[in-house]
Amino acid sequence: MRKIFILLIFISSSFLSFTQTFTEFQYPKIFEINKLYPRSNIIPDHDFYKISLNGIWKFNFVQNIYDRPLDFFKIDFNDQNWIDFQVPANWELNGYGMPIYVNVPNEFDNSKFPQVPDSMNSVGSYRKQFEIPIEWENNNVFINFGAVKSCFYLWINGQFVGYSEDSKTNAEFDITHYVKYGEENTIALQIMRWSDGSYFECQDFWRISGIERDIVLYATPSTYISDYHLTALLDDQYKNGILNLNCDISSSNISENSNYKLEYFIEIPVDSVKNRFESVRTYHYSKDVTISKSKTTFSFDKQIFENIPVWSAETPTLCTLYINLIDNQGELVQQIKKQFGFRSVEMKNGLLLVNGKPIKFKGVNRHEHDPITGHVISRESMEKDVILMKECNINGVRTAHYPNDPYFYELCDKYGLYVIDEANAESHAQGYGDNSVAKKPEFIDATVARIRNMYERDKNHTCVIMWSLGNESGNGICYHKAYDWLKAKEATRPVHYERAEFEYNTDVYSVMYPDVEYIAEYAQTKREKPLIMCEYAHAMGNSCGGLSDYWDTINRYPQLQGGFIWDWVDQSFIQYDEKGTKWFAYGGDFGHPTNIRPSDKNFLINGLITSERTPNPHYFETQRVYQPITIKAIDLEKGIFEITNNLDFTNLKDAFEIFYNINAYNEKNYYYTSGNSFCIDVEPGKSKLFTINKPNCSPPYDIYFKTLVNIDKNGSELIYNRSITHSGLQFSNNQASFYVYPPQKETQISFNNKIKINTKLKKSNLIIISGDNRFIFDTLKGQLISLVVKGQEILQKPLTLNFWRAPTDNDKADGKGKRAWDQASLNQLTWKVVDLSYKTTDSLFILHLFLNGLNPLGETVFEVIQSYSITNSDDLFIENHIKTSNLVKTVAKVGLQMGLSKDFAYAKWFGLDTESYSDRYKSGLIGWHSFPIENLFFKYVRPQESGNRAKTQKLYLESNKTNIFIQFLESDFNFSIYPYTDQNIDTSKHINKLVENDYWTFNLDYKQAGIGGATCGPGARYMYLLDDPEYQFTVHLNTKEEWSDTQMLFNSKNYFPYPAHWIFKSDQNTLNQNIKSIKFKNIPHPKYSKNYQNALYDNKLAVCGDYQENWLGFQGDTMDITINLSNYDKINSLKFNFCHDPNSWVFAPQTIYYQTSNDGINYTDIVNLNNAFDPENASNIYIQLQSIVIPTNNAPFLRIIAVPIKMLPKWHSNPGEKAWIMIDEILIIK
């Protein structure tokens, strides 16, 4: 019954009406009229039989449906006043309508679901004249629309032809009886921006409209091959090919039976010379057929081909199929050519197998986007994408969240990419509950049709190894029916649907943005289905932190079969400001409708590459983590290494030639180099030891490996990535470097007896002169404000401690990131000198500073003991001992910042070459590197933290006047340098708003927090957070012209101890030492009541917006607590921290009352604490911490009553619901 029902769906929907009513776009059950049943591409290769209608059309645009032209489709309509408009093109990018970006919501008023609004529903009307060759007469004539958004009506020569929805699959119409041959014809289209189909097209991309792919007219014979289905699988041994071919033959002449011959040829490459495939084997099969009705299906017998070359993402070997239809006169009527490969896909023992082996998807999600033309993508751009993917070691792509242009699949067949082909179905705005489109029976037909459109169009592509029913649409009857239809249609490929989770209608368990611990836990138990992350490692801004942690875990467990990074390309548009400076636009930059939720702004700037197709820094991290080879040092001095083959099918000897160089250094330049190349026999998934020739030199030296696609002696490539090298490209998709260190030399500082240090105090400035060097300290602020070397001022801004960075997109989303840093006021610190002490000798000056870092309220955030030591041999040592207060949850970094003279033009360092962080550094090669300073800062689309180099051991800054050498004692370090202030970076929404200073901002950081992926997914993992209570580090700076590899030993206390009374105080900001009890009249909500008896004084600071830790919550209830204090006579007041976060239903209290008591029985009158903050004001929509100070009157008992707002206000997305009060740590004020 199920199959019959679905068949009736398609019959009724396709032939529901032959006339238009202009209401079809409002009814889910009408999604096509007169449209041909979808099929494989049969457009002829010969230009004579096809005509492109791309180019200039006449175009009319109106903002509202009611204003659209009504008779424009008539032949005699005068369109001379209409504009000339390019097709394909998006309206909104050409001045017609507003480009809108939202992620989850519909971009229109959906209050009348499933209908769309008439008001502001733009309409584009098109007209064009074209001529059909007279030679096409007596043939069939079809028109193929590649993609039209969101729906359209079609007329030919004034006659209504049909209607179509589904904006990302081809719509074909038979216009044979509508056209005139050898003379002019008129085509007219009318496109609605929104239709009921728009509820399926709520994807995370620009909501723009128009004709987005090619329009093609083509002719076929009256009797022709109308579709075909090719399956090319492997036998149980995965050696021999099994081919099945079915062909549909349609005829417009059914008055009598007609006899034809149907035949096919297959050309299979032959491995005549090792893996070179210089010749082919040709096979021929035919059968006589009789055409007796409008459409007949013919099946050829199954054919088996022995020892065929197998297609995979590693070896995309393609065969060629020719299908010929021959009439009874022996004349060739039609030929279809198709390239394909033999491969198998199956689910077995809880694993997804390709060609009998479990694969790992090193994948990426791909939206179609161009920085100028939007959703109109050129073939050149598509090929650029595929080549960049292959160069990045990507082996899989998910067409998120709609079928991509058909040409993209041809490229994936050719170059070798596994494709999860996803239907154009996302209804995220309606959620996953009862309102979900997936649960609405009236959408069953349309849902199944969209899966049908994808399947029938793409069924013959080898690269498609899995179908996807859609994305973020909930689960229910619509997707149950879609899965059943697809499985009944074809059983050779598995089906993916993330929202099915553990239900039956998905063959794999698909998850989005899990943390590493989750996937590890899943894999520790044998499961029925493998886990595949259909989205992970959200690549927004400076991102992809922890990518290598995912893959360390994936490689440990067979049932973890990889994932697809979100996503491939930044969806920005190129713009130019009034000065001609280029910048990149994102959501909201073109305006935004007032009647829907605000734009999600730069949430679509999350690609591995920019919209201009240049790699972002995290592209290179992905390239390294996805690399096909891992090389690990076993014994560096003996030259022994272990190599691991991460490929699924290919032996390394057939894939790569490995080159290595050995470079020995004399600090400034390498003076010795040697190298060699080799191939090595390592089976897929296996490891092997190998030894290189030991260098004829002493350390230090580095060993650098580079892997290239193997080219044999005859100039023909071996089998891995053969299509890449066919295109004339060789790329290094695998690199590794190792450094052999010299024996560590440690020496005490030496002094220059010829130079005497002098000091003088001039007001608050302490001046130190040592030879050609002059230092000036501001003793009030405790900062080095001037450093002159040989007459050149090095410092343009004082050297100061720094714990903040311009937040990344991930930092802004991470509860342990920006929100924690803002609560601690890390970017608003002022420094107070509590005490100082200094000592001068002829050869050594030492200054000890005891500093407090204060927030704007005057509270101590950091206590610091900092020592500056200046020697008469051009050394400066800066020792730092830092203690954080309990106001600090985490910090962004721990280090020093200064303004450096722009006379410095080059940086040379030993460490990692690429931008790198504690959780994203695999892309970096260890060694000596030198770059112009101006090239060390990457301009992300939205400016943010950038350009850090982690794991640095030595840094050398060069100017035409002097040089500076820097290292940290007993640790490596991070550095970054750029011409902007952190504040300017943080407040600039676009790169054209960055303002270059006349100095470099120079950061020397002992630690730098990880970057994680919290914009959509987990934040930085715990091991990459900076949440230690204390930090200690020493910076060594030297201004000599020459320096050595020696590690200097130094401790200022050995020469001049700082005063004994300089000790850090224990935290006095919380009540943990000053409380007896807290009584709750109402116990907090069970979800937020962990350790509620002491949660308010446990010395654990919570972060506003991160409610999983330390918060107590009251939903719709008044918070009524009584605090019994000890040491109450020393406590003047208490500070209470409430979070205000309307998007999470969390509101600061409406009213706060308090009372005090000396005995806990008799209380003073209730006092209403007048709070100037109005939580119900719509302008207070942003997350913030509200601190309320309440006096204790030096009494032992204090009662606080916090009254919530009555209900969520009208402006809230969920008005009328109960609001939460969230409270955290209570701080004392003495």
Q: Could you report the per-residue pLDDT of 473-492, keeping only the tens digit for each? A: 999 999 999 999 999 999 99
Q: Give me the pLDDT at residue 483, please.
A: 98
Instruction: Judge residue 975's burial from the number of C-beta atoms within 10 Å of its C-beta, 0-12 exposed, 13-18 middle, 19 or more buried.
Output: buried
pLDDT above 50 for 718: no
> Any idea what DSSP says for residue 67?
G
Q: With cut-offs at 50, 70 and 90, classify the pLDDT of residue 1043.
A: low
Pairing label, strands 893-901, 184-192: unpaired
pLDDT in tens, 1147-1178: 999 999 999 999 999 999 999 987 789 999 98
Read off the pLDDT of residues 176-214 as tens digits, 9 standing for 90 and up.
999 999 999 999 999 999 999 999 999 999 999 999 999
The neighbour count for residue 1187, using CB atoms within 10 Å, is 12
Tokens of 804: 């903040």
Q: 654 pLDDT band (50/70/90 cuts)? A: confident
CATH homologous superfamily for 223-345?
Immunoglobulins (2.60.40.10)
What pLDDT digit, counting tens, does each position of 222-240 carry? 999 999 999 999 999 999 9
Q: How far apart are CA 238 and CA 685, in angstroms?
A: 18
Q: What pLDDT is attached to residue 588? A: 96
Q: For 86-105, how does the pLDDT look when each residue is reduced to its tens digit (9 = 90+)?
A: 999 999 999 999 999 999 99
Share of the chain above pLDDT 90, in %: 74
Is 748-914+922-1054 a CATH 2.70.98.10 domain? yes
- Best CA proximity match to 259, nearest among 220, 298, 301: 298
SS in 3 state form for 237-292? CCCCEEEEEEEEEEECCCCCCEEEEEEEEEEEEECCCCCCCCEEEEEEEEEEEEEC
Distance CA 621, CA 612 (A): 19
pLDDT reading at 725 higher than 50: no
380-571+604-621 is classed CATH 3.20.20.80: yes
Give the other-Cβ count within 10 Å of 84's Cβ: 9
Domain positions in the chain are: 2-220, 223-345, 380-571+604-621, 629-743, 748-914+922-1054, 1075-1229
Give φ, ψ of 80 to 5 degrees: -65, -30
Half-sphere exposure of 100 (CA within 13 A, CB side): 24
Q: Enter the pTM of the model.
A: 0.92
Q: Which residues contact 675 (CB under 8 A, 6 or more apart)?
A: 659, 660, 661, 662
270-274, 707-711, 1009-1013: least confidently modelled range: 270-274
Mean pLDDT of 1087-1098: 87
Per-residue pLDDT tens over the stretch 876-935? 999 999 999 988 999 999 999 999 999 999 999 999 999 999 999 999 988 889 999 999
State the DSSP H helix or E strand holding residue 403, giving kind and residue range, or none if neither: none
- Are 845 and 757 in contact, with CB atoms under 8 Å apart? yes
pLDDT digits (tens, 9 = 90+) for 388-421: 999 999 999 999 999 999 999 999 999 999 999 9
Q: Catalytic annotation on 472?
A: yes
Instruction: Write down the H helix ranges in 50-141.
Output: none
Confidence of residue 1194 (pLDDT cuts 50, 70, 90): confident
DSSP 870-887: EETTSEEEEEEEEEE-TT
Amino acid residing at 663: N
Q: What pLDDT, on the 0 to 100 scale, is given for residue 723?
A: 39
Exposed e or buried b per residue across 612-638, where buried means at least 16 C-beta atoms within 10 angstroms of its C-beta: ebebbbbbbbbbbbbbbbebeeeebee
pLDDT at 1074: 76
The H-assigned helical ranges of 1052-1135 are none
Locate the DSSP E strands across 602-710.
629-635, 640-645, 656-665, 670-678, 687-691, 701-709
Predicted confidence band at 272 (pLDDT cuts at 50, 70, 90)? Answer: very low
Beta-carbon contacts of 760 under 8 Å, excluding residues fewer than 6 positions away, are 766, 767
Which pLDDT score, from 0 to 100, does residue 9 have? 35
The CATH number fitting domain 629-743, selected from 3.40.50.150, 3.40.50.300, 3.30.230.10, 2.60.40.10: 2.60.40.10
Residues ≥6 apart with Cβ < 8 Å to 1095: 1110, 1112, 1224
* Residue 1129, both tokens: 């006579």
pLDDT over 50 at 1072, yes or no? yes
Residue 644 in this model has a pLDDT that exceeds 60 = yes
pLDDT at 1182: 83
Contact call for residues 1164 and 1156 (beta carbons, < 8 A): yes
Q: Does the pLDDT of residue 869 top 70, yes or no?
A: yes
Cα atoms found within 13 Å of the Cα of residue 194, Cβ hemisphere only: 23
Describe the chain by its helix, strand, coil percentages, rounded to 5. 15, 40, 45
Q: State the chain's mean pLDDT as an integer.
A: 91
pLDDT at 1 over 80: no
- Whether the CB-CB separation of 1188 and 1226 falls below 8 Å is answered with no
Alpha-carbon distance of 424 to 338, in angstroms, equals: 25
Question: At residue 284, what is the residue type?
Answer: H
Helices (H), 173-258: none
State the Cα–Cα distance between residues 507 and 485, nearest whole angstrom: 14
CA distances from 653 to 650, 682, 850 (A): 8, 7, 63
For residue range 337-378, what is the model confidence (pLDDT) as tens digits? Answer: 999 999 999 999 999 999 999 999 999 999 999 999 999 999
* Residue 198, token pair as written in the block: 């728009």
Between 678 and 282, name the one with better pLDDT: 282
pLDDT at 596: 85
Q: What letter would DSSP give residue 1230?
A: -
Write out the H or E segment, with its range, that includes residue 485: helix 477-489
Helices (H), 888-1024: 982-987
Q: What is the CA radius of gyration of the chain?
A: 35
Cα–Cα nearest to 203, from 425, 375, 368:
425
Please give the class, per CATH, of domain 2-220. Answer: mainly beta
Round to whole Å and give the CA distance between 920 and 617.
Answer: 10
Containing 160, the helix (H) or strand (E) segment is strand 159-164
**For range 733-739, the mean pLDDT:** 71
d(CA 1011, CA 532): 23
613: which 2 tokens? 């197709």
DSSP-derived pairing of the beta strands 560-565 and 531-536 = parallel
- From CA 636, how far away is CA 647, in angstroms rounded? 25
Which tokens sit at 693?
A: 């020739």
HEC sequence for 960-978? CCCEEEEEECCCCEEEEEE
The two domains 223-345 and 1075-1229 share their CATH topology (first three levels equal): no
Q: Quick check: 1203 pLDDT over 90?
A: yes
Sign of the C-alpha dihedral computed for residues 629, 631, 632 and 635 taken in this order: positive
Helices (H), 378-419: 379-391, 406-415
Nearest to 425 by CA among 455, 449, 456, 398: 449
Q: Measured between alpha carbons, how far is 147 from 170 in angstroms, rounded to an integer?
A: 6
pLDDT score of 2: 36
Does the pLDDT value for residue 726 go beyond 70? no
CA quadruple 1151, 1156, 1161, 1165: dihedral sign = negative
Exactly one of 32, 263, 410, 535 is catalytic; name it: 535
Catalytic pick among 456, 472, 621, 717: 472
Give the span between the Cα atoms of 115 and 195, in whole angstroms.
7
> If pLDDT is split at 50, 70 and 90, which confidence band does 1066 have?
low
In CATH, which of 3.30.70.20, 2.60.120.260, 3.40.50.300, 3.40.228.10 is domain 1075-1229? 2.60.120.260
Q: 333: how many CB neighbours lie within 10 A of its CB? A: 18
Measure the CA–CA gap between 334 and 326, rounded to whole angstroms. Answer: 7
CA dihedral (934, 937, 939, 945) positive or negative:
negative
Residue 987 three-state SS: helix
pLDDT at position 1041, please?
63
Find the mean pLDDT for residues 1048-1058.
87
Looking at residue 384, the DSSP 8-state letter turns out to be H
Model confidence at 60, in pLDDT bands (50, 70, 90)?
A: very high
Minimal CA–CA distance to 817: which of 984, 1011, 1007?
A: 1011
Model confidence pLDDT, tens digit, residues 127-182: 999 999 999 999 999 999 999 999 999 999 999 999 999 999 999 999 999 999 99
pLDDT value for 234: 98
Sign (positive or negative) of CA dihedral 647, 650, 651, 656: negative
Nearest C-alpha neighbor of 815 from the set 1138, 1106, 1009: 1106
Which pLDDT band, with edges at 50, 70 and 90, does 1130 fall under?
confident
Q: Is 535 a catalytic residue?
A: yes
d(CA 232, CA 342): 5
Instruction: Tell me the C-alpha to C-alpha distance, in Å, between residue 1211 and each of 340, 749, 1105, 1175, 1216.
Output: 56, 67, 20, 12, 10
